[in-house]
Amino acid sequence: MTNDQTQREAAETAGILVAVVGLLIFFALAMGSMRDKSLTFDEGFYVARGWAFMQTGELLTLGHPPLAILLVGLGVSLEASLPDPRGLDGWLEGDPERVSEDLLWGGEVDFRRVTFLGRITIIWLGVLLGALLWRWAKEWYGPGGASLALALYALSPNLLAHTRLATTDLPVAAFYVATLYAWMRFLRQRSGHWLWISGIL
C-alpha cells in the first residue's frame, strides 16, 4: 500500500468519525430538548392518527402524508397498554381531535411515554437525514465540505426544534431531500434504479 493510499484511507476514516460524532451530537441535542418539551397542540392529533393507522389502516382524515403518520405510529405501537382506537370517543364521527384527547387523557395511558415513542422515530429520521446530507455534501465538496454541512445541520435550532416533535414537518423535509438526492444521482448516472427510488420517495 502506498503512502497516498494510506493517507486517503486515514482521511476517509477521519471523515466518517467526524460524521458519527456530528450525528451523535444532533441525536443528543434532540433527545435532551425533547425531554423538557411539552406536547404541542397538534402532536396528539398525529399520535392518535399514527396509532389508529397502525391498528386499523384508517387515517381518520386526509391532508397529511401517510408515511409520516405511519412513522409516528410505528413508535407509538410499542406501547402495549393503548386501547383499541375504534372504541375511543370521536371514532365513529371521524373526529381525530376527540380521538386524540380520549387516547391520551381519557384513560390510564401514560401520555408522556406515548409522546416519547411517537417522537423517537422522528428523531431517528432526523439522524438519517443528517447522514444523507453529509454524504451528498461529501460527493460534491469532499470531507471538509461534508463536515461543515453536517455541523450546520446538527446545530440548527430550527431543525432540532422540528426533529423532536411527532409531527409531519421533519418527515416531509427528509423525504423531499432524499427525493432530490436520488434524482440528482439519476441525472448523473442515468441509472434506472435511482429513477425508481426518486419516484417512490
How do residues 87-109 score in pLDDT, each as one tens digit? 888 888 878 888 888 888 877 78
Q: Is the pLDDT of residue 148 over 90?
A: yes
SS3 79: coil
Parse the chain into domains and list their residue ranges. Answer: 3-200
Instruction: Give CA–CA dist 83/14, Å, rounded.
Output: 48
Single pTM value for the model: 0.89
The dihedrals phi and psi of 81, each to the nearest 5 degrees, come to -85, 0
Q: What is the pLDDT of residue 62?
A: 64
What is the spatial distance between Cα 16 and Cα 8, in angstroms, rounded to a whole number? Answer: 12
CB 133 within 8 A of CB 149: yes
Q: Indicate the residue type of 20.
A: V
Nearest residue to 10 via CA among 143, 148, 140, 145: 143
Alpha helices (runs of H) in the chain, residue ranges in sequence order: 3-35, 43-56, 66-76, 96-105, 111-154, 157-163, 169-189, 192-200
- Range ranked top by mean pLDDT from 1-5, 13-17, 111-115: 111-115
Q: What is the pLDDT of residue 97?
A: 83
What single letter denotes the amino acid at residue 12?
A: E
Taking the CA atoms of 177, 183, 185 and 188 in sequence, report the sign of the dihedral they define.
Answer: negative
Going by the DSSP 8-state scheme, the letter that residue 71 receives in this structure is H
- Per-residue model confidence (pLDDT) at position 172: 93
Angle at 72 between CA 183 and CA 58, to 5 degrees: 95
Mean pLDDT computed over 13-26: 89
Region of 142 (left: φ > 0; alpha: ψ -120 to 50; beta: rest) is: left
- Residue 32 grid cell: 435532551
| Average pLDDT, rounded, for the chain | 87
pLDDT the model gives residue 157:
94
Distance of alpha carbon 197 from alpha carbon 201, whole angstroms: 6
